Amino acid sequence: MKTKTPSLAAYRKQYNTMKSLGAAMLACNAVLVIDGYEDLYMLLQNFQRPISSHHDPADVDLARGLQAHAAGTRKTNFESQWTFIETESGAISRFADDLVNIHDGVIPLVRIYDGFVDDGDTIKGEREYELIDCAITFADGGGEIDAASRSQILQVQAACRYNYFGDASKLGSTGTDVFADTLNSALSALGGLTPTFSSNDVTIFG
């Protein structure tokens, strides 16, 4: 029996198209950095990378039995599961204590980086995701102890609820400043004014 497959020319065309979209990303090619506990990124084994999304679409029932749907609102609140590796020095246990006694269960900012900058020596990436007001809850118990487990690391599970507003929401960060662009557009439309002088975060238009 002969199996029909695409030609080699078709495969080459598809391969070149794939290369133009970028190489496939490895699942390990990202780090999660907790603000104030930057070194713990080495011990975070599993987590979910955020992505912009909508809530479920809403059903719309119209006259004469016509059915349709409308897109849901943009989703800003998410939930993620994290897996920490505990150390003999109790690094994760100390973080859990700080979370309860110092931060009241909420870390204001967590960053996720994926991709590498230069040789990957610095904790930065080609893309940055900001997780805001992360409410972290550890599962009951600080990891399962097993006297027969002589070749397995001790893992600690945690759940995290956080807000994520996508890349376009980073006002005043490196790159596009939404407020400045809006102001410049408004001034140009009204009087053709342009920024002529800037000092100490104050811009003079004329």
Q: Are residues 106 and 204 in the same domain?
A: no
Cβ contact 108:35 at 8 Å: yes
pLDDT tens per residue across span 168-196: 766 544 445 555 566 666 656 665 555 66
Number of domains in the chain: 2
Domain that holds residue 186: 171-206
Q: What are phi and psi of 199, to 5 degrees?
A: -155, 135
Q: Are residues 180 and 98 in the same domain?
A: no
Q: Are residues 178 and 159 in the same domain?
A: no
What is the domain-level CATH number for residue 83?
A: 2.30.110
Domain assignment present for 1: no
Q: Are residues 158 and 185 in the same domain?
A: no
pTM: 0.75
Q: Are residues 113 and 196 in the same domain?
A: no
The secondary structure of 163-197 as a DSSP string is: E---GGG-TTSSS--HHHHHHHHHHHHHT---EEE
Residues 6+ apart with CB under 8 A from 43: 84, 85, 86, 87, 91, 92
User: Which of 30-34, 122-126, 199-203 is predicted least confidently?
Assistant: 199-203
The mean pLDDT value of the chain amounts to: 87
> What pLDDT shows up at residue 172?
47
